[in-house]
Chains A and B, each alone.
Chain A
Amino acid sequence: MDKLTQVHTASHCQLKESKRAVNSLRDFVDDEDDDDLERVSWSGEPVGSISWSIKETAGNSGSSQEGREQLKSRNSFSTYAQLPKPTSTYSLSSFFRGRTRPGSFQSLSDALSDVPAKSYAPELGRPKGEYRDYSNDWSPSDTVWRLRKGKVCSLERFRSLQDKLRLLEEAVSVHDGNVITAVLIFLKRTLSKETLFRELEVRQVALRHLIHFLKEIGDQKLLLDLFRFLDRTEELALSHYREHLNIQDPEKRKEFLKTCIGLPFSAEDSAHIQDHYTLLERQIIIEANDRHLESAGQTEIFRKHPRKASILNMPLVTTLFYSCFYHYTEAEGTFSSPVNLKKTFKIPDKQYVLTALAARAKLRAWHDVDALFTTKNWLGYTKKRAPIGFHRVVEILHKNSAPVQILQEYVNLVEDVDTKLNLATKFKCHDVVIDTCRDLKDRQQLLAYRSKVDKGSAEEEKIDAILNSSQIRWKN
């Protein structure tokens, strides 16, 4: 994190410098509406920008006083008001001659009208092309052309499967999403599910488009049927599972998760889904129970550390932390005991110890921390071990403001000497530093450290005693 702070400061300084430089260049820079760098309103939006304007104009009868002032002063040297409007040489739509923009009055969905094409009285002098509009005899490519222009177009003429497929192929070849969707809607309505699926199975682009379309309109049922047909079992399972994110009520979500078990996930994922269900099931029970305890007001831990949030839908490790915090001493039999969680979800020792440590350290329960690492070997002697490396233990203890004596004890257990020395120095565990320097026979470092301890302190005395000792063969 230190480096990151460096970066923050450094980049801020450079930004400041560049700002200063730009201000001095102001006179040379074309004053245009969006080149304005300094005019940032206190809400953070550049004045005159669209997002700023939304804030300013919405809700009030007019722009704020401040806003109006600033707009006025800017407009005083904005150039566009004085210059004549640039002559219109380019208009995007003029380039796409031969493709008229969809008229304002045509609805694209009218293209799907079941009503047969209206019959109009033929008018004299009408260009041949337009006359064709009233004909009933359009080829697939003509139809697709009309669909792209949003013209009224009945697709009912395409009766045989052959015709429908030719229409689909034509739609796909022009890549226009709206047209493909229109044709697919028509096919969905006029073909049996099996036929539709069978034909699309061999038409990749149309198939993908159909999947996308079904997702967009939320037709989950047909989508799952499709995946089942295509034997895309994993996608089927995941697509079904994804729906749980839409269910807010915990009981309903739990019931839904139950339906996910047994779906054709991969072996690994099946286990995870099962765990997900089990976890939520437990959380519901724990949540109900703890809410009750909390409101009864008799339980000390809840009184001293009121819960800030519900445990529902929290990840497993968070739940374990919660359990180690509020239910540490409970026997294995209860759903809320840490040991029970460990067993049910097969939480590895490393993860368990880390989480328990974090929870007990937060509560400043140093005895519990001690017990976590103490084991009795076969001779009955106690020994401290950790599956996570004692340097991590020290870091977590320090994060929770453990007293120096406690820190010191664990710093001493760090195996790697350099790390031990670093940590001891960082956390001011004087005794450890002194002892380690002595063990390393590093006189220089000990001397250097002497200047860091308080004058006249016990540490200073200790250092002096060691330095004066004749028994140590210093290496430097």
Chain B
Amino acid sequence: MAAHLSYGRVNLNVLREAVRRELREFLDKCAGSKAIVWDEYLTGPFGLIAQYSLLKEHEVEKMFTLKGSRLPAADVKNIIFFVRPRLELMDIIAENVLSEDRRGPTRDFHILFVPRRSLLCEQRLKDLGVLGSFIHREEYSLDLIPFDGDLLSMESEGAFKECYLESDQTSLYHAAKGLMTLQALYGTIPQIFGKGECARQVANMMIRMKREFTGSQNSIFPVFDNLLLLDRNVDLLTPLATQLTYEGLIDEIYGIQNSYVKLPPEKFVPKKQGDAGKDLPTEAKKLQLNSAEELYAEIRDKNFNAVGSVLSKKAKVISAAFEVNSYIEDCIAQKHPLIKVLRLVCLQSVCNSGLKQKVLDYYKREILQTYGYEHILTLYNLEKAGLLKPQTGGRNNYPTIRKTLRLWMDDVNEQNPTDISYVYSGYAPLSVRLAQLLSRPGWRSIEEVLRILPGPHFEERQPLPTGLQKKRQPGENRVTLIFFLGGVTFAEIAALRFLSQLEDGGTEYVIATTKLMNGATWIESLMEKPF
């Protein structure tokens, strides 16, 4: 049991245990000693579910990363490939299988697709002549992975691009499946609210999936009162702004991946003279970060004062067009990292409902000449995602949204915050404000603003069998599962946690998403990379 997962209102250990059980069952199916060949991308998420000790219990003796040519020697009965359903990985697997040493003892091959099998992948294996070599070929539905007592993520990097640029529904389908799993373990969620196109799709899928399982009644007493589905593109501004909470800053600068933070090795260089030169760490050191560190939990969501004033000033400078333009130009001229430049340009565009055509053309030219012409593709992606666009001549809606939802708060007390705007030194994340208002007094009070924001908003009810109607005790908080479709930032998580622990807040939140992200990783997922 992972202690840090059960302290919250919802015991996510139940999910974790269920998922671990599936893994154990599969491993036992491949009886005998085994070696696992890992798609490297999966080692992170799996690390949150199981440690090597669990695998060892099920006779996993060796582990390798998936690489071309021949598999390393290993005296095991079974070789199991743990992979995502990607065609290029199938080619590597085929290479491994075909170059297997016939003279050595025969090993059985198996493959576990995470999270789904894929027709195309199996077809590819067939074409390469190796499909028949696999004895067990299954899928492991690891959709939502518990990161913390109130935090779940699919860790799907491509989700935002798929959903908003390509209108591809694969990630949404996985989100829906993940939600069905949660309902199987924690009970049917009686009310579903949503804002955005993708939210609507996911809700539709859930309802349809539920219909298919009529017959098997879910007799679990519901833990969640509500589900709130939110499209990332309802609030594009928040991930672009620099994050000011402790965890957000660490993520921004050092990069949090799967609850581990990679700190640069120079931070750990021994201070004593004699030790210098001995065994200097060459790789970034990893430290696990989650609420198991009590002190960390307390300071994690506190605002970071040292940088606060500088960065908040930058955030507020958005409207001062002249300053921003020349600041951005300077960044390009000094060849600052492209991601930083793109973030600033998008930030300016989002806050002003687009850039003047002349300004946009100018930025584009500067960027292409400084960083390379291939970024025509990157800029196209950003435009398609709505992050970068020319002003259309319609009015700029952002000031209305800002005012109605009170997104900018001038008197922010960062030591003892009373409003979620503390997470960005005065700026309240729009997404979280929407959640807050849904809880109290409800979305009817902001109908007009909701209509300005992209995508439909809706409400669905899922009937519960009688006897399972949730009766809340007086003073007991509601539990809302809020699902960000397209990614969530640590600042938004901090803001939601702040709301959860308010004395008379009324609602506690459990947060789910397709990906934990910061502004840099987000933009990066939209950049075209050379192959």
Give the CA-CA distance A6 to B306 in the complex, in Å: 7
Give the CA-CA distance A265 to B447 in the complex, in Å: 40
Q: Are A92 and B184 in contact (CB under 8 A)?
A: yes
- Which chain B residues border A11 with CB–CB below 8 Å? 246, 249-250, 253, 304
Contact with B304, one of A4, A7, A25, A205 (Cβ below 8 angstroms): A7
- Which chain A residues border B136 with CB–CB below 8 Å? 104
Q: Are A25 and B294 in contact (CB under 8 A)?
A: yes
Q: Are B173 and A175 in contact (CB under 8 A)?
A: yes
Q: Are A109 and B123 in contact (CB under 8 A)?
A: yes
- Which chain B residues border A217 with CB–CB below 8 Å? 87, 120
Q: Are A57 and B63 in contact (CB under 8 A)?
A: yes
Residues of chain B from 19 to 54 with CB closer than 8 A to chain A in the complex: 19, 21-22, 25, 29, 38, 43-44, 46-48, 50-54
Question: Does B64 sit at the interface, judged by CB under 8 A?
Answer: yes
Give the CA-CA distance A44 to B257 in the complex, in Å: 14
Q: Report the nearest B residue to A59, measured CB to CB.
A: B72
Interface segment, B111-119, B412-420, B434-442? B111-119
Interface segment, B205-213, B465-473, B486-494? B205-213
Interface segment, A14-22, A421-429, A430-438? A14-22
Question: Does B11 sit at the interface, judged by CB under 8 A?
Answer: no
Please, what's the 1-or-0 string for B254-271, where 1 marks a CB less than 8 Å from any CB in chain A? 000000101101010000
Question: Does A208 sit at the interface, judged by CB under 8 A?
Answer: yes
Question: Does A115 sit at the interface, judged by CB under 8 A?
Answer: no
Q: Report the nearest A residue to B46, measured CB to CB.
A: A50
Q: Are B288 and A46 in contact (CB under 8 A)?
A: yes
Contact size range, B: 35 or more
Contact with B377, one of A36, A109, A205, A241 (Cβ below 8 angstroms): A241
Q: Are B373 and A276 in contact (CB under 8 A)?
A: yes
Question: Does B167 sit at the interface, judged by CB under 8 A?
Answer: yes
Q: Are B294 and A54 in contact (CB under 8 A)?
A: no
Contact with B296, one of A18, A58, A269 (Cβ below 8 angstroms): A18
Question: Does B169 sit at the interface, judged by CB under 8 A?
Answer: yes
- Which chain B residues border A107 with CB–CB below 8 Å? 122, 126, 131, 137
Question: Does A37 sit at the interface, judged by CB under 8 A?
Answer: yes
Contact with A48, one of B53, B170, B366 (Cβ below 8 angstroms): B53
Give the CA-CA distance A268 to B119 in the complex, in Å: 41
Q: Are A54 and B63 in contact (CB under 8 A)?
A: yes
- Which chain B residues border A246 with CB–CB below 8 Å? 531
Question: Does A307 sit at the interface, judged by CB under 8 A?
Answer: no
Binding site secondary structure of chain A: helix
Residues of chain A from 190 to 221 with CB closer than 8 A to chain B in the complex: 204-205, 208-209, 211-213, 216-217
**Do A53 and B141 form a contact, CB below 8 Å, given A58-B65, A108-B122, A351-B333?**
no
- Which chain A residues border B172 with CB–CB below 8 Å? 175
- Which chain A residues border B366 with CB–CB below 8 Å? 351
Q: Are B173 and A177 in contact (CB under 8 A)?
A: yes
Q: Are B374 and A98 in contact (CB under 8 A)?
A: no
Give the CA-CA distance A12 to B261 in the complex, in Å: 12
**Do A51 and B43 form a contact, CB below 8 Å, given A175-B208, A351-B369?**
yes
- Which chain B residues border A50 with CB–CB below 8 Å? 38, 43, 46-47, 50-52, 55, 63
CB proximity of A415 to chain B, nearest CB, Å: 15
**Do A102 and B139 form a contact, CB below 8 Å, given A52-B52, A176-B173?**
yes
Give the CA-CA distance A118 to B335 in the complex, in Å: 66
Interface segment, A27-35, A293-301, A406-414? A27-35
- Which chain A residues border B410 with CB–CB below 8 Å? none
- Which chain A residues border B327 with CB–CB below 8 Å? none
**Do A108 and B117 form a contact, CB below 8 Å, given A10-B304, A174-B208, A177-B170?**
yes
Interface segment, A83-91, A222-230, A328-336, A459-467? A83-91
Give the CA-CA distance A75 to B253 in the complex, in Å: 35
Q: Report the nearest A residue to B134, measured CB to CB.
A: A104
Interface segment, B233-241, B278-286, B348-356? B278-286
Question: Does A340 sit at the interface, judged by CB under 8 A?
Answer: no
Contact size range, A: 35 or more
- Which chain B residues border A177 with CB–CB below 8 Å? 116, 118, 169-170, 173
**Do A10 and B216 form a contact, CB below 8 Å, given A34-B47, A40-B286, A48-B51?**
no
Give the CA-CA distance A90 to B172 in the complex, in Å: 25
Contact with A21, one of B279, B287, B294, B530 (Cβ below 8 angstroms): B294
- Which chain A residues border B283 with CB–CB below 8 Å? 43-44
Question: Does B457 sit at the interface, judged by CB under 8 A?
Answer: no
CB proximity of A380 to chain B, nearest CB, Å: 33
Q: Are B304 and A58 in contact (CB under 8 A)?
A: no
CB proximity of B53 to chain A, nearest CB, Å: 5
- Which chain B residues border A43 with CB–CB below 8 Å? 283
Question: Does A372 sit at the interface, judged by CB under 8 A?
Answer: no
Question: Does B321 sit at the interface, judged by CB under 8 A?
Answer: no
Residues of chain A from 231 to 280 with CB closer than 8 A to chain B in the complex: 234, 238, 241-242, 244-246, 268-269, 272-273, 275-276, 279
Give the CA-CA distance A113 to B296 in the complex, in Å: 57
Q: Are B216 and A279 in contact (CB under 8 A)?
A: no
Give the CA-CA distance A209 to B307 in the complex, in Å: 45
Q: Are A58 and B295 in contact (CB under 8 A)?
A: no
Residues of chain B from 38 to 91 with CB closer than 8 A to chain A in the complex: 38, 43-44, 46-48, 50-55, 61-65, 72, 87
Q: A175-B208, A245-B529, A272-B368 are in contact. List 17 more A-B contacts (CB 8 A).
A: A15-B250, A22-B294, A34-B51, A48-B52, A51-B44, A54-B38, A90-B185, A96-B213, A108-B118, A175-B173, A205-B169, A208-B166, A208-B168, A217-B120, A268-B361, A315-B373, A317-B335
What are 13 A-B contacts with C-beta separation under 8 Å?
Answer: A8-B253, A29-B3, A36-B288, A42-B281, A43-B283, A51-B44, A58-B65, A96-B213, A107-B122, A174-B208, A269-B376, A275-B373, A317-B335
